[in-house]
Amino acid sequence: MTYRLPELPYDYDALAPAISEEIMRLHHQKHHQAYVDKLNAALEERGQSQDLEQLLGSLSQLPEDIRQSVRDNGGGHFNHSLFWQVMSPSGGGQPSGELAEMLNQRYGSFESFVEQFNAKASGLFGSGWVWLMPDGEIATSPNQDNPIMDGQSVPVLGLDVWEHAYYLDYKNVRADYIEAWWSVVNWSEVERRYAAT
Ligand code: MN
């Protein structure tokens, strides 16, 4: 069995200037590829394919000697696969429909939701992810963890706040990266994921 690096649904330079071509190439071809390779290496001897979401939801059933590697690299593969899909060169703006209604109900307004998401993203210490969960909760995970590892739902939106995601463009200023990222969020894809939950 082998997991594979998914192709980006747009060109490497398509998200610039929010995210440069250089970052996108490194992030996809080096970082994401490394998670895929190490995940495959960790699972090499198991010999059978398993749905990644199921695998991450049942880490405790794995042998102890590969559990952490599958957690880190399987999480890295899952999280980045989601991340590429929820961005688009024609993204930005605001969600509509039921997702917009849910966010308005929970946060009062879209702007207030963004404010709270930004605060969590800026405040997350070290490397990790910020998620919008199907119930509207803004969750965070350290490293390459994901809420599904705790038996929770698949997030509908995720933001990578590892330094490798922004340092070449924004140096240490994570807040500028986060602000620019909203201009490439693919709301129609997030709405599709929300509707499917
Ligand atoms: Mn990353």
pTM here is 0.96
The predicted pLDDT at position 50 comes to 84
Mean pLDDT value of segment 27-32: 98
Mean of per-residue pLDDT scores for the chain: 96
List pLDDT tens digits, range 58-90. 999 999 999 999 999 999 999 999 999 999 999
Reported as a single tens digit per residue, the pLDDT across 48-57 is 668 999 999 9
pLDDT score recorded for residue 45: 74
The Å distance, Cα 2 to ligand 1 centre, comes to 21
Cα of 162 vs centre of ligand 1, distance in Å, is: 6
Cα-Cα-Cα-Cα torsion 148, 1, 34, 73, nearest 10 degrees, comes to 30
32 Cα: distance to centroid of ligand 1 (angstroms): 7
Task: Tell me if 127 sits within 8 A of 166, measured CB to CB.
Answer: no
CA–centroid distance, 140 to ligand 1, in Å, is 14
Determine the distance separating the centroid of ligand 1 and the alpha carbon of 82, expressed in angstroms: 11
Q: What's the 179 CA to ligand 1 centre distance in angstroms? A: 17
Please compute the mean of the pLDDT values over residues 139-154 and round it to a whole number.
98
**What is the CA(108)–ligand 1 centre distance, in A?**
31
Cα-atom radius of gyration of the chain, to the nearest Å?
Answer: 17
Distance CA 72, CA 70 (A): 6
User: Would the pLDDT of 12 be above 70?
Assistant: yes
pLDDT tens column, 121-143: 999 999 999 999 999 999 999 99
Question: Ligand 1 centre from 164 Cα, in Å?
Answer: 6
Percentage, residues of the chain above pLDDT 70: 98
Residue 105 C-alpha to ligand 1 middle, in angstroms? Answer: 31
Question: Roughly what angle, to the nearest 10 degrees, separates helices 97-107 and 187-195?
Answer: 90
